[in-house]
Structure 1
Amino acid sequence: MSAPFVLLGLLTAGPRHGYDLKHAYDRTLPRAKPLGFGQVYATLGRLERDGLVTQSSQDRDGGPDRTAYTLTNDGYVRLTEWLGAVEEPAPHVASALLAKVVVALLAAGPEQALAYLAAQRKAHVARLRELTRTKAEPGATVGDVIAADYAIAHLDADLTWLAATIERVAQQPPGEPS
């Protein structure tokens, strides 16, 4: 996910302080990898440097100085371009899950790989159940539900791959190189 564009998108609602942006991010994308306050402020600094946001006001309000940021016209144009661009499918497989299975086959053999695959399948099923419950919670927002749907689709794909891989590894003749 591109944090700069998410922050630009949040600024379309009007000026916000970094603190407010962090909390808006957490509310809007509750299942996404969290953004730290330092990442928010560093990103705002880069967006300001690039002319995509500008400081609109500062207030103290009984605490530290808070700078509000506003989306510039250039920022809005860049956000619109980003929203209109299709995300290319990843050209390479980059998965710790795949790497662990391959290394388990190479280093420890089929039995260790099957044990890992079974444990991973169990963890995926537990997470799938958790996400399914999340969708049914009374206070679930549309954002919660679509984030859960996205994660469930990826877990389903992983579970399909895990089942196929368990079958392939289990059918591997003894002594055949992995």
Structure 2
Amino acid sequence: MSLVELHLALLTAGPAHGYDLKREYDAWFPDAKPLPFGQVYATLGRLVRDGLAEVVETRSEGGPERTVYTVTDAGRARLREWLAEPAPPAVSGTEDLVRKTVVALRTRDPDRPASAFVDDQRVAHLRRIRSLAAAAPAGPGEDLGSRLARRYAALHLDADLRWLDEAATALETRPRHPDQEGPR
């Protein structure tokens, strides 16, 4: 995820302080991991350092001091360049799901076979898909961005489920004797 460009995008709505950006990010991506405040302020510091954003004021509204930021012309140009480049396909054998499945298979724990991990993972994925469906607001007032982000998550979970089905089938049909499996 490119936090620099996401912060720039959030700032295009107008000047804002870090709390506003975090709240807006969490609204834009309601099913993603919430953005930590420390990451927000660290990224804002880099944006200012690199001339992509600037401080427009520092104010205290009866609470802690808040610094208000705005995007610069250079920041808008950076955001346009980022949006013009297609995102690389996120196909990687280093995803946690793949790593854990391979580890479960290769470690051959007699108390917890790889098939148990695959079964538990399927249950977790199905629960998450159901929670995404239950969280979906219905009606014309639904935010299109949130709906698309939720749909993206559900489709990725569905693809993971199909891969888990293949893994389960492969585990059922693999040779049972360790010498028949080839090198480790």
Decide: shared fold, TM above 0.5: yes
Structure 1, 105-114 or 26-35: larger mean CA deviation = 105-114
Alignment of 1:117-128 (within 5 A): 117-128=118-129
1:158 maps to a residue whose letter is D
1:159 to 157, 161, 168: 161
| C-alpha distance in 2 between matches for 1:13 and 1:136 | 24
Q: Which residue is equivalent to 1:8?
A: 8
Q: Which is worse superposed, 134-143 or 56-65? A: 134-143
**What SS does the corresponding residue of 1:62 show, helix, strand or coil?**
coil
Aligned equivalent of 1:37: 37
How far off its partner does 1:157 sit? Answer: 0.6
CA contact under 8 A between 1:22 and 1:37: conserved in structure 2?
yes
What is the CA–CA distance in structure 2 between the aligned matches of 1:16 and 1:37, rounded to whole Å?
Answer: 14
**Could you give the per-residue CA deviations for residues 40-64 of structure 1, whole angstroms, max 9, x where no partner exists?**
1111110000000011112111122
Q: Provide the TM-score with structure 1 as the length reference.
A: 0.91
Q: Which residue of 2 aligns with 1:81?
A: 81
Contact 1:121 1:159 (8 Å CA) reproduced: yes
The answer to whether structure 1 residue 28 and structure 2 residue 28 are counterparts is yes
**Identical pairs, percent:** 47
Structure 1: stretches of 5+ with no match in the other structure: none
* Range 102-111 or range 8-17, more displaced: 102-111
1:63-105 deviations in Å (ceiling 9; x for gaps): 2221111110000000100011111224642112212222222
Partners of 2:107 and 2:73 in 1: CA distance: 55
Counterpart position of 1:132: 133
User: Aligned partners of 2:86, 2:71: CA distance in 1, in Å?
Assistant: 23
Per-residue CA shift, 1:137-167, capped at 9, x if unaligned?
5675323311210111111110110111111
Moved more, 107-116 or 45-54: 107-116
Matched residue count: 178
Q: State whether structure 2 residue 68 is matched by structure 1 residue 68.
A: yes
Unaligned runs of 5+ residues in structure 2 are: none
Counterparts of 2:91 and 2:128, CA distance in 1: 27
The 3-state SS of whatever aligns with 2:136 is helix
- Length-normalised TM-score, structure 2: 0.88
- State yes or no: 1:177 paired with 2:181: yes
